Chains A and B, each alone.
Chain A
Amino acid sequence: MSRWSLLKATLFYHWRANLAVGLGVVAATAVITGALVVGDSVQTSLLDMHLDRLGQVDMAVGGRDRFVREDLAAELQEAIGSGAKVAPLMMMRGSLETGGSESVGARTGMRVGGVMVYGVDSRFWDLTQHGTLPAPAPGEVVLSEGVAAELGSRVSVGQQVRLWMELPNAIPRDTLLGERDDDTIDMVLDVKGVVGPDHPVARRGVGRFDLNPSQQLPKLAFVALETLQETLVLNKRRVRNREQRRFDNYPARVNTLAVAGGTPQAVSEALARTLSLEDLGLSLRKLEKHGYVALESNRMVLDDAIVAAAGSLPGQSRVLVHLANRLSNAEDPSRYSMYSIVGGLVPDQVAAAPFGPFAGGESDDVMGDLPDDSIVINRWLADDLGLERGGRLTMTYHLVGSHGELPEEQRTFRVHAVTELTGPADDRGLTPHVPGITDVRTFRDWRQPFKMDLDALTQRDDDYWDEFRATPKAFVTYKTATEMWQSRYGTATSLRMAVDPGDAVALKEVREVIEQGIDLSSLGLSVQPVKQHGVRAASGTTPFSGLFIGFSFFLIGAATILIGLLFRLGIERRVKSTGLMLALGLSPRAVLVLLAGEGLAVTVLGGVVGSAAGIGYAHLMVYGLTHWWVGAVGTSFLEVDVRASSLAAGFAFSSAVALAAIVVSARGLLKLPTRELLAGVVRGVMDQASNVGRSRRVLGISIGIAAAGLLCGVVVPDSLLSREAFSGLSIRIVVFFVLGISLLVSSLSVLSVVLGRGRVGSLGGRGLGALTRLGFRNAARHRSRSVLSVAMIASAAFLITAVAAGRRDPVAEWPDAATGGGGFLLVAESSQPLVFDPGSANGQVKLELADGLDERKRALLETMDLHSFRMKAGEESSCLNLYQTRLPTILGMSRRTIDRGGFRFVGAGEENPWKLLEEVPRSTAAEDGAGGLPVFPVMGDMNTLQYSLHKAVGDRIAYPDEENPTLWLEIVGMLDASVFQGVLVMSEQHFRAAFPDVVGFRYFLVGDSRFGAAGQVAGDLAELDDVRRGQAELLESKLGEYGFDAEPVVERLGRFLAVQNTYLSTFQVLGGLGLLLGTIGLATVMQRNVLERRSELALLRAVGYRRSGLRWLVLSENAFLLMWGLVSGTVSALLAMLPHLMTAGADVGELAGGLAQLLSVVVVVGMLAALLAVAEAVRTPVVASLRSE
């Protein structure tokens, strides 16, 4: 005989009670393990999805803005070696329209915006998982499931579609010579394949190809690389260079290289070795006549990083030229010269050969002492305008406005000197080569970047062009030039170097110095380890384990209470045995160990079974996530992944929780005097007065807190209540939640006190009333059992009600500037950037928005309040993306929009928090000591910042990454449930400084001056919907070629909220399971009560009560506890959610209906469960029960 054999015997002897406890443990373990397995499954599925999607592609180089030689792919592949593969790839953003050639002009087809267009060939296709899906041949397109999902039955293999894309332009569109008008291109393509169930491999693989991790179905169109290059004029071609009188060879170009194999470092090193100036759009122009070479860019402006790379080379001259629309004699404006180039030079750098000196009059170097407000003109211009030294020249020129407009500026200079048009002044090399401009024969042949006044041209202008082409007619200091014409793309149009153009060795050296000195990442050509990023993003995904454990909190809590309750019920049945052990000399500790040992055995067995059940539960949850709650994950590609570590963790955690519950119950029992235990007295009827006292104290405290909360809600000013308490929760929400919880605790304490008094109502009267009162009083006999059962039910009812009350329906909301929609009606994005701002009068003219509109549309346009944002595309960081994101899309907000204000902020004290975006960027110089990087203020949505980026106000985000940041973004404000979820917003002014190469506008918020003011009283929703629809139709038809895609703000908010609402559904289902456990707990308690009172029930029968009376007695006790739990939980939750229920989006009607339904079901189920106890009661054999007494 040993303790172990006693334990074993006890375990088997009391198997029924232990089985009940074990089932409780099974439930708790299954819930916890299941939650962990769900988390693992989401993580693994995301990882698998990412790996399948990328296929063999490990890294990517470039993307979007820079077009490198296609041949670089082969060169890079060779340079990396060790079996690496490099495929050239074209990545463009576009939109698709069904109907192909028939839709031309008619715009009858259905359009899908935001399509990622990939130009691919077999080299890329071989790197992907494509299964039987064929690669597109020239003239064909393969569409992804995402596109097919939007086009539905309108697209199938063999049909034609029209693809619209931005036409790449080497010269940025929003510079003076950038192409503005003809900026989109379309092509008709035959649909070769549509990814779908027929292509299971491609469906997981290339059909979801995306360099950024996201589980959402991407909208992709694969086109033959060759077709795309030809259409975008990026194919290999020979072009006649009229200026140089030769043919120039242009290599085929791509903007992305997909790399398979190698390490990021090896690829970076190989890239640095193989990348040539040509890949960066740079050229070394040989100016044999003047004996130097000029570094020029096909973007017309040299990036500062490139100028910096050449900084170590000796003998340099930096040049910034600009096109002056008109140069005229200030005294005699009739003497003018049209479309002249004016050069900005550094006087010191042009003092000697080969760049100077500029001789004129009596001076050998007229540039040497050129003041910043003066100008040097060449002899031709001097003669043309009749100006000499000391005269005054007026220059008119275009500036490039921030919204694509070209305001004309004017400035008058004093003529410092007239230089002869010989030597260094007669140098076409001062102006970089711009195809279509510098190489054409006459002005009339110019590819006009803006509307030119050709009528004003004079013969002398033509003569000059004929003889000197783009040779500058006038010169100012470089300082003056940068003040006037500095572009955000750079500060020099060429960098001349005193290198003999005939010296091949010297040229090679120059080339190498520049190539090796350039910081590729600053030019957007760094190696992106996309596979690695995705793997990291998948592991740092939305913590589903935590989320589900959080969701299951009440379920776990209910299971724990149930375990404790069942265990206690079990040991209460053998309370005499426990007393005996103590009487025989086993110390309370030894008895506790024995009881805990028994509990441990049950826990271990339950845990093992629970772990297996957890796998089943996880399957159920994953099924739910892919079928019922697909809104929460946005993908059906979830597969269950069972990891031993999670099973062990779930087992350990649940066992610990269950064992703790068991030990607490056992200790409670062992606190009773041994004598009472021996007498079989379980603290029930005689619950100590001190416990009632404790309940009273708890009641007092909780009522005090509730009253304080209520007072706070009524007395404290609204402005204070709206402030943030913590984690984005306003003080009001916290106060009311505390109020609700306090009320819940109060109601349980009241129950405890009432039951503790031992008398619930008088027993007088007769019939059902008297029986009901007796039933209520019976509930007081085992106060702790009753209170625990009610606590389970009340907590679950609280959860379910609070969750149901938390649902929002933004579609029902009237636009209000002070809400998450900012009072706007539409949110739109375009696939191609709009250089002109459609929100400005000038932009609307340029984009021809008002042309051909009927009366209604014209009226709509007049009241339309459109706000355009610049956009630096980044990762999808809204709650719709499960992967952890690093760098979301960044928007540039104009001053007009900042001044407009609006939206709801978390904890912002300022009247218009948007103004914080305009704070002067700080520098990290003070922190890191070095030159420092700029720190730009940004704002984001609370959801994005907290859950996707894990950032708070005051935190910083590195751009482009932590390893090599070029700038920092500092969070200065947090928006609450806004349409800006998934993006960061910065001021347009800062945006242009931070991202100079981002062109135009791609994100829009559209309002109407008649709707959306803060606090506006809701009007006719139908009229509002009409306006919304009209605006969308107008803009989508007028801006269709840009892939303009508008969506009602309420729908976008609804999509974001769909995730939240889906989580709430999950929460509610799990809460419902908790309620079910509560009901089971109550039923068990009732059953136990009846068993313990068999003799009493027999006595009642003996003295004349009928069976129906006994039924009523038991049911009334059950109903009393059930209703107390339901009512206290529901009322407390409704009070906690009061601030939310009073907002516009809360659907009170539906809430009331849903709750009434749910709670009715619970009452019915709860009462039905009690029927078991009722059956037990009426089955009680009268004589036997009385005898046993």
Chain B
Amino acid sequence: MRRCRHVACRLTFRAGVSVTADLVQPYRTLRDNLKRRDRSLREKVVSLEDAASFVNDGASIGIGGSTLSRTPMAMIWQLIRAGKKNLSCSRCIISTDGDLLFGSGAANHIVSSWFSQGILWGLSKVMRHYVEKDLARYDEWSHMAMGMRFRAGGMGLPFLPMRSMLGSDVARIRPEVKEFDCPFTGERLLLVPALNPDVALIHVQRCDAYGNAQIDGLQFMDIDLALAANRVILTTERIVSNDQIRRAPDHTKIPFFCVDAVVEVPFGAMPHECYGTYEPAMDHLDAYVAQVNGDPVQGMRDYLDKYVYGPKSWAEFLSLIGVEALVTARRQGESIFDV
């Protein structure tokens, strides 16, 4: 109990200053930021280019989806094209999107539980190049810790307690975590700090012009992320009418007042998947991995030139992936509903 009081006091005394201030946004700031946002029921459809202006250099960005699923790839693609710099990006599991963010210089910091291109391809040479040469930082947390951090952020709390990560080196090298003895039971718990990104990027199957978002299938940590962030950019496969949303409100996972911008981008997670809509473009990803792991600097530069900086629009990027690949991915994606 003695240790518990000690930690509790320290947290109390430090609230709003020093270590805690850098790590966890003060409650007053979070509330003030929210108060300033226009939360009225209004249309907020913009272009990818306009949405990118919501993101300042150096901002902290929360990325929705997980691994190869519902990655807000078109938005990330646009941020890279817009020349964003020094972003700090958090995502529960990050894959080729993390490669592109490091390789383009858009991000120099990734917070995640797992960072590689995908289990099929082994280690990401791009991640290894940037991290091992100290050119960029990858902070590792357990998957549940990422979830608890977004959840605390979404709940308006500075931290949440949990029982994993204790005893491991994952916790030992994270100065941000605190061990804590429960005031009720005396059990050892780990406290993880809230994560309230400046901007969340989330891709969904459909939403209305106000931002009421419906997510099919796996929702990952997107609801907590949307509630936690100070601003939310939604990209969507399809904008539907508000009447259609109201017909099935139980499908709505993110309420409109969390959302600041809506961008309609069909195939907006390509070359990753979007549940029930398309599976990943595996041939494109195989070729991507071979190229960037072959040479994480020049290979990546060539990829960015051809697929990110080169195309005039997202549609032109899709045409580089190819109609055949898109048709195959679409057929496989929809097959999840076959009985």
Are A and B genuine complex partners? Answer: no
Name A residues whose Cβ lies closer than 8 Å to a Cβ of B: none
Name B residues whose Cβ lies closer than 8 Å to a Cβ of A: none
